[in-house]
A and B are shown apart, each in its own frame.
Chain A
């Protein structure tokens, strides 16, 4: 297992010749909190798609805990221990907050256990604990449709944790949130990082500064550089890909 929770080796994904990911080599250690940044179209979301089995790599392989996840369906990869949060909060709007968490928390996800099994007491207390963690205990019996945007984001992160994955993939968790909510999410992620490996994709540099220990910059489908937030911010190549266009237009 060599302590790596996630590795990608020369992963290329091409859509009709366009390479969304180009020879991507990436690895992160178990227990790490990693932030991936990159300009629009750098391949960040495709990167998550490849890890979670939504998209198959054209070349190369993805190893989770040393195991190749190629050809596994999304649900099998999820059961291996990878949880994914989407860019826009995707919770089940017609179910209550508690029911949302209960579905994610269910340990035996085949048809018959879901139909005949009763949720054990341990799962119920897990759900109660999670409600506390994400701060939605008072709204446990509300339909998720009535939650605010920020609350939905927290609920989805809660659902992710309920799956008890080893690796959390979090795609832009603070898009469209107020500053206060952003800080809340940041604290939540930092708390979760104590017991999980987390990979966050983010645009908001303020937020990245709050949570980041190690940052990876993606550009045109491959890793541009990697390091602490200060190193990355002072790297001339990063400045160029992020600011190059604006500088060029400013010159004119």
Chain B
């Protein structure tokens, strides 16, 4: 009988099928990246292209949030810390790059600093700064995560702790005028590796890099969220104590994912800083950290494409709306959040997955009547139906 083979596809064939799907996905990602790199500059005016670049950088941070929140179920309201740390790491190098070794950044002269602080010296090397962009947020994330997760702090307590951490970091960077120029942040970048930062060609290189990093990040997240590791993250999200009784210690998994997510926020912060030309403690504002969560909520938790789309759509809406009606944006953002929470709890992509496609296609043709959806999908029922049909 063929009914078994329909359900139990032989291993080799299944592997081939998976391989084919993987190739298709790689192709689609490459195509989107090529469109972004080659077509967009021709279509969009340069202001919008610069915005696009910045929002794509934010999408990298959104992917990180999706890993830790959408898949692992830990709502972090402090990713602004990691974003800003990545931005500061690169900005410190940008401050030092144009001046000769041992010289001081402009703002330090203003505050009467006479010698470069020791840790600033490290950032004189581009290699160090580039690695620090990901490693410093990642390490801080790992330490913070270890302390929190080892003590089994979860849920809303975890969220509150991340917010408290945000305030600590904000106050520190805001208050250290001699070290980090306080409220003003680090700005006025001139050169990076000999290239003029604000030149259009350099900005285009940054844009291209952002697209490539976003594609790579998507690949990384895709790899992490599939297979046993990805399933385990979902298991931790859905029932952590069950995971323990199965013999896994969730702490290590959560620390790793939190650190990766922090590192991604750092990378996003650095790319964002390059394209906006400033990093200030404002990025550690709690409101910004919550905004990041809203992007993912709008796009769809536990959907990587959703996180990227959410970041792009919300940010473009923000810039378009606040250009037209500067006072209205915050109301709109609040309304958006309410709509997502009440009507679209799984975000736009989640809605499309569950019922959106059906709704849209049913606009054209009458909807098939499914009285008992779970029964319709039951292979035993289907087999019975087929066998009955064969007998007639």
- Residues on B with beta carbons closer than 8 Å to the beta carbon of A138: 7, 379-380, 383
Q: A73 with B238: in contact, given A102-B228, A103-B231 (CB under 8 Å)? A: no
Which secondary structure dominates chain B's binding surface?
helix
- Number of chain A residues close to chain B: CB under 8 A: 37
CA distance A75 to B246 in the complex (A): 7
Q: Mark A64-106, 1 if CB is under 8 A from B, else 0.
A: 0000000001110011000110100011111100010011101
Q: Which residues of A contact B224 (CB under 8 A)?
A: 115
Interfacial chain A residues near B253, Cβ < 8 Å:
111, 114
Q: How far is the CB of B255 from chain A (nearest CB, A)?
A: 8
- List A contacts of B239 (CB < 8 A): 90, 92
Q: Closest residue to A111 on the B side, CB-wise? A: B252
Is A209's beta carbon under 8 Å from chain B? no
Contact B380 A119 (CB under 8 A): no
Q: A103-B228, A111-B253 are in contact. Are A73 and B246 (CB under 8 A)?
A: no
A21 within 8 A of B: no
Could you tell me if B377 and A99 are in contact, using CB atoms closer than 8 angstroms? no
**Does B235 sit at the interface, judged by CB under 8 A?**
yes
Contact of A73 among B232, B249, B379, B380 (CB under 8 A): B249
Out of B228, B238, B252, which one reaches A110, CB within 8 Å? B252
CB distance from B111 to the nearest CB of A (A): 45
> B244 — which chain A residues lie within 8 A by C-beta?
73-75, 78
CB of A139 within 8 A of chain B?
yes
Minimum CB–CB distance from A148 to chain B (whole Å) comes to: 9
- Tally inter-chain residue pairs, CB-CB below 8 A: 81
Whether B242 sits at the interface, judged by CB under 8 Å, is yes
Quick check: B234 and A92 within 8 Å, CB to CB? yes
Interface residues of B in 333-365 (CB under 8 A from A): none
Distance between Cα atoms of A140 and B379 in the complex (Å)? 10
Best-buried of B231, B246, B256 by chain A (most CB within 10 Å)? B246
Q: How far is the CA of A109 from the CA of B248 in the complex (A)?
A: 6
Residues in A with CB closer than 8 Å to B229 are 114-115
Q: Is residue A189 within 8 Å, beta carbon to beta carbon, of the partner chain?
A: no
- Cα–Cα, bound, A243→B379 (Å): 46
Interface string of A205-216 (1 = CB under 8 A from B): 000000000000
A247 within 8 A of B: no
Contacts of B201 in A (CB 8 A): none
**Chain B hits for A73, CB < 8 A:** 244, 249
- In the complex, the answer to whether A159 meets B231 with C-beta atoms within 8 Å is no
Asked whether any CB of chain B lies closer than 8 Å to the CB of A225, the reply is no
Interface set of B (CB-CB < 8 Å, partner A): 7-8, 224, 228-229, 231-232, 234-235, 238-239, 241-242, 244-249, 252-253, 256, 374, 377-380, 383
Task: Return 12 A-B CB contacts under 8 Å, by A number.
Answer: A73-B249, A75-B245, A78-B244, A90-B242, A95-B231, A102-B228, A106-B228, A114-B229, A114-B253, A117-B228, A138-B379, A138-B383
